[in-house]
Amino acid sequence: MEPVILKHPLIDNKLSILRNKKTGTKEFRELISEISMFLCYEALKDAKTETVEIETPVAKTKVNKVNEDDYAFIPILRAGTGMLDGLIKVLPNAKIGHIGLFRNETTLKPVRYYYKVPKDIDKKQVVVLDPMLATGGSAIDAITMLKEEGAKNIKFLCIISAPEGIKKLQEVHPDVEIYTSAVDEKLNEKGYIVPGLGDAGDRIFGTK
């Protein structure tokens, strides 16, 4: 399953600002949210709707609605929370969970420190969020945890991805659709995406 790359001139424009090291915390955070919203639209274009009758100021009519309870957004802490605002603008009543992982700087392996997801996760369309798909370790680990909880329908959204991370995620979880706004050149020796945009968490929260 090939990753879905969100190609659009306006997305490219936002990415150009996002990547710039001179872009400040406020603008960086807003851009992450905006691009995430567009990714959400693309990822959920197959959302199922049900027909209900409502009354407009003019007349009764039948409309199509999404059952928002059928969706769960799961950001990988901490950077994934920067994407959450964009998604809840699309589906404000979706359920939200959190998975806390950090990368061991020596081994580059993810270490779990927090895990809480909505009940009936096995019945929901699950959307996992992380701005960067670099080595793929955190995404693989988070999705493995969700599958162990019974989740079956999982999609992964990221802003920037590396070929290495995409390959590893597809090898371990070939059933998970990947949505990204850019596939970059490679990983460097420290496991960072090149050219990338630096550490997304630090730039979202202004911690460096």
Rounded CA gap, 182 and 18, in Å? 12
Phi/psi of residue 150, nearest 5 degrees: 110, -5
| Residue listed under structure tokens 């950001």 | 75
Q: Determine whether 202 is an active site residue.
A: yes
What stretches of the chain show up as alpha helix (H) in DSSP? 9-19, 25-43, 81-90, 137-148, 163-172, 200-205
Q: Among residues 12, 144, 202, 207, which one is catalytic?
A: 202
Q: Which of 69, 70, 85, 199 is catalytic?
A: 199
Q: Confirm if 155 and 126 have CB atoms less than 8 A apart.
A: yes
Q: Mark whether 199 is an active-site residue.
A: yes
- Told to judge if 103 belongs to the known catalytic residues of this protein, a careful annotator would answer yes
Torsion of CA 100, 105, 108, 113, to 10 degrees: -20
In which element (H, E) is residue 111 found? Answer: strand 110-116
Choosing from 103, 112, 141, 175, the catalytic residue is: 103
> How many Å apart are CA 159 and CA 105, to the nearest integer?
22
Active-site position among 107, 112, 122, 184: 107
Contact criterion met (CB below 8 Å) for 69 and 118: no
Cα separation, 190 vs 186, whole angstroms = 11
- Which residues are the active-site residues? 103, 107, 199, 202
